[in-house]
Amino acid sequence: MEYRYDIALSYATENKDIADMVYHYLKAENIHAFFAESPEAQTVLSGQNQREIFYRIFGVEAEYAALFVTKDYVAKKVPMEEASIAFSKHHGDGKVIPIYLDGTPLPEKLFDPNSTNYFCSSNGAEIASLIANRIKLDRQSVPVPKTAAPPAYSKNTMNIHDNTAGVILSINELNLGKKDD
């Protein structure tokens, strides 16, 4: 399937600065991201029914969705609608990536943290690296054998092994999955 965007970024307005940073880092990685504040997105959104546009973007036009979850995010209607759309359209395929910026979780009725990948960080470069590597790894279709040993964990990672995505994420900056010499 052809997608208009590699990933759509969902965030509360209070967190637009980190979403903007991630958006620009992803552009540098040649990842085509939908970021509502960008000039390109403003052209798409201008004069349109925002609810219809966001449904189309988060449900159909973006291959992945990154959710920048905070206390503000879970308290707001629009970001939670974007999250609901992304989860309902992707049916647990591992292409919705919750990123916990302040440790506030998504409601369990929407997201099961025991069966899906998520990531904790408030560092824009780290988040962009995770997203870019995740997309590149998925496109290489490198499944992880069930007998593989779990990777080394960093304080900024959660639930990256034995999950529905079936992929070990590798981020050089964090040394995930890298064995000590």
Q: CA-to-CA distance for 76 and 104, rounded, in angstroms?
A: 13
Is the per-residue pLDDT at 164 higher than 60? no
> How many CB atoms sit inside 10 A of residue 94's CB?
17
Structural domains in the chain plus CATH codes: 5-174 (3.40.50.10140)
Q: How far is CA 61 from the centre of its chain?
A: 15
More confident residue, 91 or 24: 24
* pTM of structure: 0.75
DSSP letter for 121, please: -
What are the tokens at 21? 């940073």
Cβ-contact 22, 66 below 8 angstroms: yes
Q: pLDDT tens digits for 119-136?
A: 889 999 999 999 999 999
Closest CA to 1 of 49, 60, 51: 60
Residues 6+ apart with CB under 8 A from 25: 124, 125, 128, 129, 132
Torsion angle of the four alpha carbons 142, 143, 148, 153, in this order, in degrees rounded to the nearest 10: 70
